[in-house]
Amino acid sequence: MTGLPTDRLADLIGRVREIVGDEWEKPAVGRPHVLPLATTVIAVLFGLRHNLPDEVLAEVFGCSQATITRYHQILRPILRGVTRPEVDQRLAQTRREGVLVDGFLAPVGEREDYHGLFSGKKHLSGQNVQVIANLDGHVADVGEPVNGARHDAAAFHISGIAQRWADHLTAGGPGMIGDCGYQGTGPITPHKKPPGGELTAKQKASM
């Protein structure tokens, strides 16, 4: 449900417990929380990982939507804080190495009051999210969301990712790899087959 191995999940729950203490299950005043702390952490991580509405999580974990919403408000900043050392460590390491860049469309549903969300390529309304990962595919940085109608080449710059990782695009820099959607923006990209033509043997060998 969380995408974490059992030992890492237990470690994360332990870090959260160090912050909230035993008051979660045994408050000095008032009633204990509806869900135990371990279950609450799993519920919040599950919702974040799959982008689930609070009412769906409430149904899965047998509590009210208001309870899930309150748990998100309480635990999200705590989870962000206790995982900060690993985030900073991965970011620092990735800054010294070559990276991958890609974008994905985060669906947001039909929103008539917002323009430019519909992606003709994906046939969905959403936001283009640019992601930097190390060469093992582990995420190191995420850009500001961009309207889904914008292609990766534009979102790369609008999201702030191009500016934050500009050193990777300089001569002698660690380097950045992207797909064909980033051609002409700086990252190393595959060769596109020219209209009505074929790639050279050298171009095919470099892909």
Q: Along the chain (207 residues), what's the average pLDDT of each consecutive run of 10 residues? A: 93 95 83 92 94 94 96 96 92 93 88 79 89 93 93 96 96 94 92 66 57
pLDDT at 109: 76
d(CA 56, CA 95): 38
Distances (CA, A) of 81 to 75, 102, 129: 10, 26, 23
pLDDT digits (tens, 9 = 90+) for 183-195: 999 999 987 666 7
For the chain, the domains span: 6-82, 88-190
State residue 108's pLDDT score.
82
Predicted TM-score (pTM) of the model is: 0.72
Sequence-ordered alpha helix ranges (H) in the chain: 6-20, 37-50, 54-61, 65-82, 84-95, 152-158, 161-164, 201-205
Q: Which of 123, 49, 121 is nearest to 79 (CA)?
A: 49
pLDDT of residue 204: 55
Helix 84-95 / helix 65-82 crossing angle, nearest 10 deg: 50
For residue 88 the two structure tokens come to 């900073």
Task: List Cβ neighbours of 71 (8 Å cut-off, separation of 6 or more).
Answer: 33, 35, 40, 43, 44
Determine the pLDDT at residue 118.
85
Choose among 74, 86, 64: nearest CA to 140.
86
- Going by C-beta distance under 8 Å and a sequence separation of 6 or more, which residues neighbour residue 99? 132, 133, 134, 135, 140, 165, 168, 174, 175, 176, 177
